[in-house]
Amino acid sequence: MPTQARVVVLPVDDGPLKVVEVNLPDPGPHEVIVRQYASGVCHSQLHQMHTPRDAPVVLGHESTGVVVKAGSEVTHVAEGDTVMVTWVPRDARENARVAAPATLALPDGATAVSQNVFTWADTTIADEQYVVKVASDINREVTAIIGCAVMTGAGAVENTAGVKAGNSVAVFGVGGVGLSGIVAAKNLGADPIIAVDLDDAKLDFARKFGATHTINASQEDPVQAIKALTVRQGKQTMIEGDVSGADYVFDCIGLKATMEQIVPAVRTGFFGAEPGGTAVLVGVPMTDVSLNALDVLLNEKKFIGSIGGSCSPDRDFPKYLDWYADGSLDLDALVTARYGIDDINEAVRALEAGEISGRAILVFD
């Protein structure tokens, strides 16, 4: 029997998002239908909205909910289980089966496509690989952002970069992803932890999550400011200057300007003794980037990418829930705006205007 759902659809043209009533089919053998409690509203959806398309698109990729139907081959969840929906396969190392992206038949006969899941809906259908079982007593709303924002930011720091106690860290962009990275850096014992943004209010907010220093990049050169905070006296570069720069610098924005700042902001090499630091691209880039190859060579710096925080949801989500439970990840503070599904266009407008200091969520009845 079909399951009724209200779903946000991005039309082919540039018109506003639409909330459409649809009937979801019964799940296939590896599919799960989830009635949702809440979904994150992520910047990467803005990129999708600004990208030309040939078909309608369904959006969203992080949520909490409850399983209402499960396919015949699904074994890790059952009807009534509390789950998170995410866009990263939950156990890609163990399961070689390629998870199918969700598609949706619309009432006008068109087929809406997704990148892999859609969570801007009061009910969704997803491949089981994108559905993670969690405890039934979790906070049903604020934990929705673990499936992208927390995973991407915290995972980049812990999994991709491997930050250790005593390492210096700088984070460009302190929205939901960047703040999650700051939390992970604090939990791992990094020092100093430098937040970089253009908004003083967001920078003050970042201190609540563990930033020890803040830099407003609209008022001073962030590269020079980071170097001034991280000078290693007595250590010399190849050209006999003081070693300076953060051990790890994370770009959680992905703009051309920030991508070109993070490499010069990382630590220069200690000639003949230590390599340079690592710049990590976390935000989704929409442009090409130019790097100073001589700086990378002479100072033995690294420029690497992090997709989804190099996370394995089955392994990492319980850890992030533990961080929330013990108070080291304040999701209640990180979620700064809530919207109903019918207010999705206002949520997107506020996000694009930079009015969301942490992370916005959709809350479903």
Same domain, 92 and 174: no
User: What is the DSSP annotation of 251-265?
Assistant: ESS--HHHHHHHHHH
Sign of torsion over alpha carbons 183, 184, 188, 193: negative
- Residue 239 is predicted with a pLDDT of 67
Residue 262 within any structural domain of the chain? yes
Taking only the tens of pLDDT, the chain with its 365 residues reads: 889 999 999 999 877 999 999 999 999 999 999 999 999 999 888 888 888 899 999 999 999 999 999 999 999 999 999 999 999 999 877 777 888 899 999 999 999 999 999 999 999 999 999 999 999 999 999 999 999 999 999 999 999 999 999 999 999 999 999 999 999 999 999 999 999 999 999 999 999 999 999 999 999 999 999 999 999 876 766 666 788 999 999 999 999 999 999 999 999 987 667 889 999 999 999 899 999 999 999 899 999 999 999 999 999 999 999 999 999 999 999 999 999 999 999 999 999 998 998 999 999 97
- Residue 99 is predicted with a pLDDT of 86
Rounded CA Rg of the chain: 21
Q: Please count the structural domains in the chain.
A: 2
Same domain, 117 and 27: yes
d(CA 213, CA 193): 6
Same domain, 156 and 126: no
Interacting residues of 350 by C-beta distance below 8 A, sequence separation 6+? 337, 356, 360
Q: Which residue type, as a one-letter code, is found at position 46? A: L
- Residue 8 is predicted with a pLDDT of 98
* 221 CB neighbour count, 10 Å cutoff: 13
Same domain, 22 and 108: yes
Same domain, 107 and 198: no
Same domain, 134 and 202: no
Residue with tokens 């801007």: 120
Q: Which residue type, as a one-letter code, is found at position 263? A: V
- The CATH number linked to 99 is 3.90.180.10
Angle, vertex CA 167, rays to CA 263 and CA 234, nearest 5: 80
Same domain, 272 and 155: yes
Nearest Cα residue to 65 out of 77, 83, 79 = 83
Same domain, 296 and 338: no
- Cα Dmax for the chain: 73
* 270 CB neighbour count, 10 Å cutoff: 18
Same domain, 10 and 93: yes
* 238 CB neighbour count, 10 Å cutoff: 14
**H or E stretch at 6:** strand 3-10
Structure tokens at 12: 């082919």
Residue 285, preceding peptide bond in cis (omega within 30° of 0): no
Residue with tokens 């051990």: 247
- Residue 28 is predicted with a pLDDT of 95
Residue 319 within any structural domain of the chain? no
Same domain, 212 and 72: no
| Continuous H helices in the chain | 43-49, 149-155, 176-187, 200-207, 222-229, 256-265, 293-298, 313-326, 331-334, 344-352
Kind of pairing, strands 248-251 and 169-172? parallel
What's the CA dihedral at 119, 117, 44, 259 to 10 degrees? 140
Sign of torsion over alpha carbons 13, 17, 21, 23: positive
pTM score, two decimals?
0.94
Residue 324 within any structural domain of the chain? no
SS3 308: helix
d(CA 333, CA 314): 25
Q: Domain range holding 272?
A: 150-307
